[in-house]
Structure 1
Amino acid sequence: MTSTYAQKIAQRTGRSLDDVRAVLARHHIVDAPTPPVSRQLRLKRLQFSGEKHVHHETVPFKFDWSPQQEGVNVIASDDNLVGKSSILQTMLWAVRGEPKSLTATVQGWIKNVVAEFQAGDRHVRVAFDVEDGVPHGVIELINKDGAVIHSLGFFTAELFKSQMNSVMLDALALDPIATSREVASLEKVVMYADGWAAYTGAFLFDSESSAIIGEHTGTDLAQRLLQVFLGIPWATTLFQARAAKRVTESLVQSRKRRLGQLGDRSVQQLQDRLEEIARQIADGSAQQTALAQLDAAQRRYDELAEKVSQLKATSTVLDAEVLAGNEELNNKKRSLLEIEEEMAASRFFGRLSPTCCPRCTRAFDKSRIDRERTAGDCSVCLTHVEQTEEINCGALKEGLSKEVSKLEKLLRAVATNAGEVKNEFEQARKDLEGAARDVSRLAAGGTAQEEQKLRLEAAKLEGMLEAVSKMVQTDTGEESDLAVLEAATDVAKDQVESEAEAVLERSGELICEMVQRLGMRDVERVVLKRNAGVEIHKGGSLSTFTRLSAGERLRVRIATVIALLQAAQQFGVGRHPGFLIIDSPAKEEMADPNVEELLESLADLPRTVNLQLFAAFRGTQRALKHFQEDHCLLARANQTLW
C-alpha cells in the first residue's frame, strides 16, 4: 500500500496511518495506480464432435480447426444454417466455461469438445465430454514441451465455470471486478465480483449484445469493464472501495434497525428496569399496587353507581314536570281558542238585523223592529233583553295569551334541562359499565397476575440484553470503518477522474478514426465517457450510442474495443487481450455496401493492431475478396461446415 493513498485518507478522516491501512486491508482494498500490462488471448485449436439427429436419421460429425493466431479468421458460407454461429458459440463455451447463446439442439448434439488457447505465456487445453447436457472433463496447463504441468478436473457446469474463472483471470492478469448488490431476502447488501464470464462479454459482437462494451445496458458493468480494459489507473481500487463502502453502510443500517427494534434503550436502561422489577417482586410492591388499583376501581364504581341513581331520579321528575306542563299548556291554549271564537261570533251576530222569522220566513211587523230599539224586546222572540255589563273579551284574551307564552318558555327550559340530565345519565351509565369491567378484571387477576406480568417483562428484557450483548460482541467496527471507506472511495474517485481524462480523450480520437475506417465517414468527433456513455458528433449534430442504427452501433462497439487495443500498443495502457468475435454483421440491418466497408476495414486491421478476430457472415466470394484463403473457413453452396 503506497503511503500517498493511505495518507490522503488519513488526512481526510483524522485517523492514524496505521489505522487506515488496517481498515483497507480488512476490506481487501489495494491501491492500483499502475495496472499490469495486457496479455494476449489466442485460440490455437477447436475440435468438437457428436451426432446430428435430422429427419429421424443419426449422422455423426467431427469438426477440427486450427485458425490463424494473428489477424482475421473468417467463417463464411453461401447458405444460412450451415453451422457458422455454432462454431463461434462452441468456441465461447470452451473459453468462458459456460455456453452463451448455443442452441439447445446443437448443445444436445455435441458429445466432445477440445479447445487449446494461448493465454499470456500459458498454454491452456480444455477437454470435456457432454452427457445429458452436463460437461465433465479437465483443464490442463501445458509447458513449451507439451507436458502437463497442472490439471483441474470438473464434473458439473458450475465447477467448469469456476475453474475457467480462476485459470483465465490468473493467466491474463485480470482481477475480479469488485461490486455489490442488494439481496432482498437477506435485507442487506453483499459483496460479490464479476469474474471471467463478465470479461468475455467484451469479446463477442452479435445481435444480442446491446452495450458499448460487454453484453447488456442498464447496469454499471459496462463502465467497469471499460475502465478496466482502458487500463485507467486506480479504477480497480475505486471499485473495491465503493463496494466495501456499500456493504459496510448496509451493515451499519442493519445494526441500527435491530437496535431500534429493541426500543432504542441503552444497556444501562435495560439493566435498571430489570433491577426495578426485581425490587418490586421482592418487597411485594407489585401486590400493593394491585390492591391499590382494585380499591381505586371499586371506589370509582360506587361513586358512579350513586351518580347514576341520582341522575335517574332527577330525570324521572323532570319528565313528569314536562308532561304536566304540556297538559296545562294545552288547556290554556283551548281556553284562549274558545274566547277567540266567542268574540268572533259576537261580532258576527251583533251585526245582524233580522226582518223575518228564521224558520218560516214570515216578515216581521215594523212595529216589532221599532219596539226592539225602544223597549229592548227581541224582534225575533219578543223576549225582553235585560241590559247587563258587557264582558271585556279583549282583556281576557290578552291576559290568557301572556300566560300561554310564559308557560311555553318555562316548558322549553324544563325540556332542555331534562335532555341534558338524560345525556349525563347515559354517559354515567357507560362509565359505570366500564368501571364494573375494571373491577371484574382486577379482581379476577389478583396480585399473582400482576407479579406474573412483571416476571414476563423481566424475561423480555433479559432477551433484549442478550441480543444487544451479541451485537456488541460481533461488532467488528463497521461504523468506525465507514468513515475510512467513504474517504477511500472519494480519494480513489478523484484519482480515477484525474487519470482518466487523458486516456478517455485519446480513446475517443482512436474510436473516431476507427468508425470512419469502418464506413461512418460523416463522424466528426467521438467523446468517450467514464460511465461507458459515448457522444457521436456527425453531420453537424450530436447523437448518443442508443440513438444510432443497429449497424452503426455494431461499428461503434467494434471501434471502441479496437481503440482499446490500439491504446495498449501506443501508450502502454489497455487490458483487452485482443480476442474478438463478430457474428453475422448483416443481421444488424447493415446494407451490403456497409458490410463491404466493414469487411474491408477488418481485413486491414492486422497492419496496425495485434488481435485475433473471428468474423462469420454469408458469402464465400465476399470472404475471398477481402481475406486470404488460409484465413477462411468456407462452406460453398449445399455444403455444411460440420
Structure 2
Amino acid sequence: MSAPQAEVALEDRIAKKAGVPVDDVRDVFAAYGLPLVVTPARARPLRLHRLRLAGERTGDVQPGPFDTPLYFSEGLTAFVASNFRGKSSVLELVTWCLRGTWRDALQTRVRHWLRHVDLDATVAGTPMAFRLDLEEGEIVSAVVLTGPDITALEEVRVPDPRRGITPLLRAASTASYAEQIAGLMLGRMDLQPLLNSRKETSTTTHGWPAYFGAIYLPTGADKPLMGDVMTDGLPGRLLQVFLDLPAAAALTRVKTVRDVRVAGNKARRKEAEAAAAARTTERNRLQDELGKAQELLASLSPIGTSDVSLVDLAHTAMDLAQAVADAQDVWEEADRTFRRARTERQHAAKLLNDVTESATARLLFHGLNPTSCPRCDQTIDDERRREERQAHTCAVCAREVVGDDEDPQAVTAEAETRLEATTAAEEAAKTEREQARTEVRRLTGQLEEAQAELRRAQSAADLPARLAAHEAVLRLEGALSVLEAPQETPPDEAEEKAIRILDAAASLLDGDSKATAAKLFEEINDEIASLATGFGVPSLQSVSIDRAARLKIYPVGSAQEWFQGQTAGAKLRLRVAVAIALLRIGRRNGVSTHPGLLLIDSPKSEEMQSADAHKLFRELAAVAADSELQVLLTTADFDLANATLPKDTIRQAAEGAPLW
C-alpha cells in the first residue's frame, strides 16, 4: 500500500470509528501537527570512527600537553587501562559530542584538561565531524561538519567548501551546542520527541538525550530495562520506537494530545461547575444578606410611617417649626395691635367721660393729651390730671385754661364717635388675635405630632443608620440583579468531537501496534533468552517482554521473576541482550531499529564473576562482528581483555599509564 493510500485508509478508519466526516479528522490532526501517514522509519545506524583529545594534563600522572587520536573498530572496541586513567572518560566524551551534554560521570578536572575534542562518526549514513573547542571545561566554539566521506573529514576542523565540507551547526557555548545537537540528531536519526502528559494538564517532552540512554547502557543497579529514565513510560516507548512498531511515535503523540485535551475539557467543565456553584453560593449569600438588610430597615422605619422616609419627616418637622415661629410672630403682632386698640378705646372712654364732665376737657379736646412733659419727660401724674379737671389748669404747664365752652354737645358727640371707633377697632384686633392664637395652637399641635413621630422613628435608630440600611438594601438588590442565576453549561460540541477523533485514532493506532508486536515479540523473546544465556545469565529458561519494556524472567525449575529483581550483573547482560535482539530482529524483518551502538562501562564491576565476564566478553565480540553492532567497552582487567578479545579490538594503555 502506497503512502497516500495508507493516509486515506487511516483517516477513513478514524472517521468511521469516531462517526465524523474525514475533513474533521484532518482538521484535528493538522491543528496539532499529528501525522496521518504511518510510514516505516528510516534506517538509523550510528558508527564511530575516530576520537581525538588534545589539551594539557595536570596532576601527578604524566602532566603536560597531549594530543591523542583513538580509532574505533567496526565491531567491538575495548579500552583497557588502570582505574582512573581515562578509559571511562572516552565514553563520556563520545557522549558529550553525540548527546550534546556531558553526564555527571565526566569529571570536572578532566574537562579542564581538554582544549580540543574531535569525533568522526557516521550518523544514519551521513559523515559528520564533531569539533569542540574548550576553555575551563566549557565549550567556547563548536562546529559539526559534513563532507563527501568520513575520510575527507578526519583532519579537518573548519569548513572547506572547495572540498565539499560544510557546517551543519555552529555554537559558541555549552548550552547552545546542547540545544542544536538535540535537534540535529533527532532529525538525522528520524526520531520524534517523546511526549508525555503530566497529570493530564500539561506535556513533558523528552528529546535526544532520552534516546541516547538506550545507547549508553546504565549501570546494573539502575531500574530501567531500556534507557536511563524510568518515569513517563520511557523504557517502553524506546522499545517501541527502536522496534519500529507501526506509528509508535505517532501513537504516543496522539495519546498525549488526547490526554491533555480530555483533562483540559474536564478542567473547564469543573471550572464551569465550580463557577456555577460559587455563583449560587454568592446569590444565596446575597439573598440572605438582603433579607437581613430588609428586616433591619423595617425595624428602623418609623411606626405608622413605613412609607415615609426619615428625611421627609425631618423636613416636615423643620417646616412646621418655621410655620409655628411665623404664626407666633403673627399672634404677637396681633396681641400688640389689640393692646394698642384697647388702650385707645380706654382713652376714648375716659375722654368721653372727661368732656362730659369738664368744660376744661372740652376746651382741650383737640389739643395734645401727653402723658409726660415734652421737654423733661417728667410723667404727668394723676394729681395734675385731677387739678386740670377741677381747677381748670393745664396738666403740662399748670396755667389756667380759659375760653368759651361754646358747643359742649358737639365735643361730646365727637368723643362718643371716637369711642365707638376705638371700640370697634379693639374688637377687630381681638378677633385677629384670637385667630392668630388658634393658628399658633394648630401649628404647634402639628409640630408636636411631627416631632413625636420623628422621635418614635429615631427611637429605633438614628438617621444615618436608616440611610445606611436603605443603601445596603439597594446595593444588595443591585448585586442580585447583576449576578444572574447560573445556567447549565452546554457541552462544547467541537471539543467533544475532537476528543472522539483522538480517542478513535489512539485506539486504532494502539491496535495496529499490538498486532505487529504480537508477531515480533515471540521472536524477540527467543533472541533475548538465547543471547542472555550466552552472556552467562544463569538457569534461564525463557523471557517475556511487553510493549512497556517490562521483562519477565522464567528460570529453570523456579517461579517467574521480574527484571528489577535480578542482580546487577544479570541486569547488565539482559540489557545488552535486549539491545542486540532488537537489532537482529529488526534486520531480519526489514524494519529500522536500534542505532547499533552500545557503550558499556566496566561490565565486570557489576557483581560479575570472572567466568561470567569471560563469557560476556567473548560473546559480545562475536555478536558485534556478526550483527552490525558497534560496542565500546571499558575494563581495568588486562588479563580478561587479552584472554577473550581479538587483539585488533583492544586499545590498551600500559598499567598505571593514562589511556590518552
Tell me if both proteins adopt one fold, taking TM over 0.5 as the criterion. Answer: yes
Given the alignment of the two structures, is residue 169 of structure 1 paired with residue 182 of structure 2, yes or no? Answer: no
CA–CA distance in 2 between the matches of 1:479 and 1:258?
17
Deviations 1:136-178 (A, max 9, x none): 3333341216432333112333321221112112222222223
Given the alignment of the two structures, is residue 511 of structure 1 paired with residue 528 of structure 2, yes or no? Answer: yes
Distance 1:49 1:446, change over 3 A: same
Deviations 1:595-614 (A, max 9, x none): 00101111211342001110
Matches within 5 A, 1:15-26: 15-26=20-31
Given the alignment of the two structures, is residue 227 of structure 1 paired with residue 240 of structure 2, yes or no? Answer: yes
Range with bigger deviation, 568-577 or 623-632: 623-632
Q: Report the CA distance between 1:511 and its aligned residue.
A: 0.5
Q: Which of these residues, 444, 448, 459, is aligned with residue 471 of structure 2?
A: 448
Q: Which of these residues, 49, 55, 79, is aligned with residue 44 of structure 1?
A: 49
Which residue does 1:251 correspond to in 2? Answer: 264
CA–CA distance in 2 between the matches of 1:507 and 1:618?
33
Which residue does 2:341 correspond to in 1? Answer: none
Q: Which of these residues, 233, 249, 252, is aligned with residue 239 of structure 1?
A: 252
Q: Report the CA distance between 1:583 and its aligned residue.
A: 0.5
| Letter aligned with residue 51 of structure 1 | E
Q: Which of these residues, 501, 519, 537, is aligned with residue 484 of structure 1?
A: 501
Q: Which of these residues, 578, 585, 589, is aligned with residue 560 of structure 1?
A: 578
8 Å contact 1:124–1:139 — kept in the other structure?
Answer: no
* Partner SS, residue 141 of structure 2: strand
| Letter aligned with residue 503 of structure 2 | E
Q: Report the CA distance between 1:26 and its aligned residue.
A: 1.6
CA–CA distance in 2 between the matches of 1:638 and 1:57?
10
* Partner SS, residue 615 of structure 1: strand
Q: Which of these residues, 127, 131, 138, is aligned with residue 135 of structure 2?
A: 131
CA–CA distance in 2 between the matches of 1:43 and 1:56?
28
CA–CA distance in 2 between the matches of 1:104 and 1:456?
66
Q: Report the CA distance between 1:32 and its aligned residue.
A: 5.4
8 Å contact 2:290–2:477 — kept in the other structure?
Answer: no
Q: Which of these residues, 63, 66, 73, is aligned with residue 68 of structure 2?
A: 63
Which residue does 2:79 correspond to in 1? Answer: 75
Matches within 5 A, 1:284-303: 294-296=297-299
Deviations 1:284-303 (A, max 9, x none): xx999977862256699xxx
Cα RMSD between the aligned structures?
3.6
Deviations 1:40-87 (A, max 9, x none): 10112212223333269963333321212x11001012x211111111
Q: Which of these residues, 127, 152, 175, is aligned with residue 158 of structure 1?
A: 175
Range with bigger deviation, 227-236 or 616-625: 616-625
Which residue does 1:576 correspond to in 2? Answer: 594
CA–CA distance in 1 between the matches of 2:112 and 2:564?
36
Q: Report the CA distance between 1:521 and its aligned residue.
A: 5.4
* Partner SS, residue 127 of structure 1: strand
CA–CA distance in 1 between the matches of 2:291 and 2:108?
80
CA–CA distance in 1 between the matches of 2:96 and 2:90?
10
Range with bigger deviation, 156-165 or 142-151: 142-151
Q: Which of these residues, 139, 144, 147, is aligned with residue 143 of structure 1?
A: 147
Which residue does 2:562 correspond to in 1? Answer: 544
8 Å contact 1:32–1:233 — kept in the other structure?
Answer: no
Deviations 1:498-524 (A, max 9, x none): 111011111111111111111235212
Which residue does 1:622 correspond to in 2? Answer: 640
Given the alignment of the two structures, is residue 107 of structure 1 paired with residue 111 of structure 2, yes or no? Answer: yes
Which residue does 2:208 correspond to in 1? Answer: 196
Deviations 1:427-457 (A, max 9, x none): xxxxxxxxx9999996251433433445566
CA–CA distance in 2 between the matches of 1:438 and 1:45?
97
8 Å contact 2:300–2:466 — kept in the other structure?
Answer: no
Matches within 5 A, 1:42-441: 42-54=47-59, 59-68=64-73, 70-77=74-81, 79-100=82-103, 101-144=105-148, 146=152, 147-182=164-199, 189-207=201-219, 209-263=222-276, 294-296=297-299
Q: Report the CA distance between 1:630 and its aligned residue.
A: 2.7
CA–CA distance in 2 between the matches of 1:571 and 1:438?
95
| Letter aligned with residue 126 of structure 1 | F
Distance 1:114 1:289, change over 3 A: same
| Letter aligned with residue 111 of structure 2 | Q
CA–CA distance in 1 between the matches of 2:649 and 2:15?
57
Distance 1:227 1:446, change over 3 A: same
Which residue does 1:522 correspond to in 2? Answer: 539
Distance 1:530 1:206, change over 3 A: closer
Aligned length: 479
Distance 1:456 1:512, change over 3 A: same
Given the alignment of the two structures, is residue 499 of structure 1 paired with residue 516 of structure 2, yes or no? Answer: yes
Which residue does 1:333 correspond to in 2? Answer: none
* Partner SS, residue 64 of structure 2: strand
Deviations 1:199-248 (A, max 9, x none): 10001124264311111334400000001111111322211111011110
Given the alignment of the two structures, is residue 29 of structure 1 paired with residue 34 of structure 2, yes or no? Answer: yes
Which residue does 2:314 correspond to in 1? Answer: none
Percent identity, aligned pairs only? 26
Distance 1:545 1:288, change over 3 A: closer
Range with bigger deviation, 46-55 or 85-94: 46-55
Query: In terms of Rg, which structure is larger?
Result: 2
| Letter aligned with residue 5 of structure 1 | L
8 Å contact 1:567–1:574 — kept in the other structure?
Answer: no
CA–CA distance in 1 between the matches of 2:538 and 2:68?
40
* Partner SS, residue 164 of structure 1: helix
Distance 1:27 1:291, change over 3 A: closer
Distance 1:110 1:479, change over 3 A: farther
Distance 1:132 1:252, change over 3 A: farther
CA–CA distance in 2 between the matches of 1:110 and 1:607?
33
Given the alignment of the two structures, is residue 610 of structure 1 paired with residue 623 of structure 2, yes or no? Answer: no
Range with bigger deviation, 568-577 or 438-447: 438-447
| Letter aligned with residue 629 of structure 1 | K
Which residue does 2:19 correspond to in 1? Answer: 14
Q: Report the CA distance between 1:479 and its aligned residue.
A: 3.7
Distance 1:526 1:295, change over 3 A: closer
Runs (5+) with no aligned partner, structure 2: 1-5, 153-163, 304-458
TM-score (ref. length: structure 1): 0.68
